[in-house]
């Protein structure tokens, strides 16, 4: 490809809409353009990167025994009604009707329709295990599309689904996909960390997110510095800590007047006690029903955990009127002592708060010397708090650290959630009908592309890993009007393509500085320069984008040098293939 013919509209100015590096650089480097909020057109350079990511994903999925298919984007509402998710999925789902008034959706995910296909075609245990996958567009009406393709309304996803006879089979399929993901992200040049995560609207039990650690990540994770434990904060656990020794015996319960003292900070100052000695009582609505949630004063409620513990579809803080109706007091004075007619959920640390402080369910009043088991009890004791940096690791007791991450992949153990709802069963050796055990495995292709940029850029632009760079080499001729330079560059251009090295020939009538800047901005792994000085010596200048190292080599040496660095980076199925006819554009 000649740069003079390439649709690569680079920008010098930073677009005002772009908030993070990947968004800025994907626009500036001419990889994509915005069509609407959360919807993007991928231009030739960007699409080449996407295709290379998809090729790597396909190779590893195929190598792991998965079979590619293509499921429809437009899905009938009946299937979603069968699974019970038509209304549960929420406003993110794009819903539409055909001319006959029949309801459909644009697929935000494909569990229903793939389960429908398999229940129709698989009947015997002899047909299992089975893993199928597709790479296709998904649609979610995000309330706030942002960060370019990190959170968009149209995106490309690789989604795979496993069907097994039993839990043991699911474990094998899950491990197979987990290992394939490790290989995929390694080949993409990404440093990722697998963390325990919440399944969200997909459902299921055990699942892991593959996170790229980055300051611009939307997800918060915690990880142990002494063992392999890592989790999204929505799922993260911590070893419960005690504010006082468990053998502490509290004096008798005592009411204290606390006029106007509503917050934990105000209560700390008023009583000269640490927040860890206090018990916050927060009133929530779970699927419309009030519930009291207790956490230590220095903790916050994790609403995702709370929803899972309650088995609720939605939880939200109650309004002031509900709080007063439940507790008999205004907001700021709720407590578990004497609380009746409402379910009480306590975090694991709450029973260990000896000699505590709580609201008294009476305006301007708190209880002190509160003891769990003596003065109050909870209906449910479970982990419902937000885990933070500094907490104790639930596995080894080491300290947890916090970081931000970009989710690029997610693997789920779905179990029988969809197979039972949609009747996806098989006949075992005895002729007994059993539900298939399912798994689900996704990779966000566009988001992965952005994550690679987040990990591989500098002040000059992108620095693509060789495996997914739009082209391997940017061959710059300093003065195309000079016949010897132009002819030498053309000859090298042909040899590089014949060797299988993807090359752009920058033959534009532009200053050298403009060409160098574009090479760095777009992020070609190697820049090769043909100019009067090198031409006089029968050599070319090579610069490596990632390291900045420069080399002056003869033409044949340069070709071999590039071969040695490019071929190993291409991995499975990506070895350089010599072309007898040269580049088709010649």
State the Cα–Cα distance between residues 273 and 535, nearest whole angstrom. 79
Instruction: List, as one string, the DSSP characters of 523-542.
Output: T-SEEEEE-HHHHHTTEEEE
Where, residue-wise, is CATH 3.40.50.800 in the chain? 471-570
Instruction: Please give the DSSP secondary-structure letter assigned to residue 143.
Output: S
Provide the b/e sequence for 426-438 (b: ≥16 CB within 10 Å). beeeeeeeebbbb
If one compares 144 and 244, the residue with the highest pLDDT of the two is 144
How much is the average pLDDT of 238-259? 80
Q: Residue 575: pLDDT above 50?
A: yes
3-state class (DSSP) for residue 74: strand
**What's the CA angle centered on 363, arms 377 and 336, to 5 degrees?**
5
Residue 585's pLDDT is 39
How much is the average pLDDT of 534-540? 88
Residue 207's pLDDT is 84
pTM: 0.85
pLDDT per residue over 292-313, tens digit each?
A: 999 999 999 999 999 989 999 8
Closest among 356, 341, 354, 346 to 377, alpha carbons compared: 346
Assigned CATH topology for domain 254-382 = YbaK protein (3.90.960)
Residue 19's pLDDT is 87
Confidence of residue 243 (pLDDT cuts 50, 70, 90): low
3-state class (DSSP) for residue 81: helix
If one compares 537 and 291, the residue with the highest pLDDT of the two is 291
pLDDT per residue over 90-111, tens digit each?
A: 899 999 999 999 999 999 999 9
Where, residue-wise, is CATH 3.30.930.10 in the chain? 3-189+413-453
Assigned CATH topology for domain 471-570 = Rossmann fold (3.40.50)
pLDDT per residue over 327-346, tens digit each?
A: 999 999 999 999 999 999 99
Residue 581's pLDDT is 40
Q: Residue 582: pLDDT above 50?
A: no
State the Cα–Cα distance between residues 471 and 464, nearest whole angstrom. 9
Per-residue tokens: 119:
């229940």
If one compares 213 and 111, the residue with the highest pLDDT of the two is 111
pLDDT per residue over 473-503, tens digit each?
A: 999 999 999 999 999 999 999 999 999 999 9
3-state class (DSSP) for residue 490: helix
CATH of domain 3-189+413-453: 3.30.930.10
How much is the average pLDDT of 393-414? 92
Where, residue-wise, is CATH 3.90.960.10 in the chain? 254-382
Phi and psi, residue 437, nearest 5°? -100, 125
Closest among 509, 501, 495 to 526, alpha carbons compared: 501
Of 448-462, 463-477, 488-502, 569-583, give the lowest mean pLDDT range.
569-583
CA distances in angstroms from 279 to 26, 154, 265, 430, listed in the order given: 48, 44, 13, 56
CB-based contacts of 40-47 (< 8 A; 24+ apart in sequence): 40/148, 40/149, 40/152, 40/154, 40/446, 43/7, 43/8, 43/9, 44/6, 44/7, 44/8, 44/470, 45/6, 45/8, 45/470, 45/522, 46/449, 46/470
Instruction: Please give the DSSP secondary-structure letter assigned to residue 234.
Output: T
Residue 10's pLDDT is 95
Residue 583's pLDDT is 44
pLDDT per residue over 269-299, tens digit each?
A: 999 999 999 999 999 999 999 999 999 999 9
């Amino acid at each position: 490809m000649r740069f003079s013919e390439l649709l690569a509209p680079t920008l010098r100015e930073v677009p005002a809409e772009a908030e993070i590096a990947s968004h800025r650089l994907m626009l500036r480097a001419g990889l994509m353009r915005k069509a609407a909020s959360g919807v993007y057109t991928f231009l030739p350079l960007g699409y080449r990167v996407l295709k290379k990511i998809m090729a790597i994903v396909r190779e590893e999925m195929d190598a792991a025994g998965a079979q590619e298919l293509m499921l429809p984007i437009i899905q009938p509402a009946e299937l979603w009604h069968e699974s019970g998710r038509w209304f549960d999925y929420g406003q993110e789902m794009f819903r539409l009707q055909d001319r006959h008034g029949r309801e459909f959706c644009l697929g935000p995910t494909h569990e229903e329709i793939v389960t429908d296909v398999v229940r129709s075609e698989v009947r015997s245990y002899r047909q299992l295990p089975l893993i199928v996958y597709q790479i296709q567009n998904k649609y979610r009406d995000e309330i706030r599309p942002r960060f370019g393709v990190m959170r968009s309304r149209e995106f490309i996803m690789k989604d795979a689904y496993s069907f097994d006879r039993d839990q043991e089979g699911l474990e094998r399929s899950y491990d197979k996909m987990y290992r394939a993901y490790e290989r995929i992200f390694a080949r993409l040049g990404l440093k990722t960390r697998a963390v325990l995560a919440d399944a969200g609207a997909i459902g299921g039990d055990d699942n892991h997110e593959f996170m790229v650690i980055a300051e611009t990540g939307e997800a918060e994770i915690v990880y142990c510095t002494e063992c392999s434990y890592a989790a999204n904060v929505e799922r993260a656990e911590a070893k419960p800590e005690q504010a006082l020794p468990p053998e502490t015996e509290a004096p008798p319960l005592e009411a204290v007047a606390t006029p106007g003292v509503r917050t934990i900070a105000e209560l700390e100052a008023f009583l000269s006690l640490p927040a860890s000695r206090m018990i916050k009582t927060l009133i929530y609505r779970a699927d419309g029903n009030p519930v009291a949630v207790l956490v230590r004063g220095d903790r916050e409620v994790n609403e995702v955990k709370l929803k899972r513990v309650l088995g609720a579809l939605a939880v939200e803080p109650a309004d002031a009127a509900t709080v007063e109706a439940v507790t008999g007091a205004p907001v700021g004075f709720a407590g578990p002592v004497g609380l009746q007619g409402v379910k009480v959920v306590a975090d694991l640390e709450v029973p260990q708060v000896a000699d505590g402080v709580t609201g008294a369910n009476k305006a301007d009043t708190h209880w002190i010397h509160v003891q769990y088991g003596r003065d109050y009890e909870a209906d449910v004791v479970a982990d419902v708090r937000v885990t933070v940096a500094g907490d104790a690791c639930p596995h080894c007791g080491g300290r947890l650290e916090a970081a931000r991450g970009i989710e690029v992949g997610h693997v789920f153990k779905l179990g029988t959630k969809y197979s039972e709802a949609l009747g996806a069963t098989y006949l075992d050796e005895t002729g007994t009908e059993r539900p298939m055990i399912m798994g689900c495995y996704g990779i966000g292709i566009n988001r992965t592309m952005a994550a690679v940029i987040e990990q591989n850029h500098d002040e000059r632009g992108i620095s693509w890993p060789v495996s997914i760079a739009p082209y391997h080499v940017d061959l710059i001729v300093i003065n195309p009007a000079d016949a010897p330079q132009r002819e030498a560059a053309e000859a090298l251009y042909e040899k590089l393509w014949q060797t299988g090295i993807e090359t752009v020939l920058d033959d534009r009538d532009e200053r050298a500085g403009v060409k160098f800047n574009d090479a760095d901005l777009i992020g070609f792994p190697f820049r090769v320069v043909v100019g009067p000085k090198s031409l006089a010596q029968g050599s070319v200048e090579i610069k490596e984008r990632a390291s900045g190292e420069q080399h002056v080599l003869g033409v044949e040496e340069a070709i071999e040098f590039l071969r040695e660095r490019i071929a190993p980076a291409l991995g499975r199925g990506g070895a350089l293939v010599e072309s007898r006819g040269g580049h088709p554009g010649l």
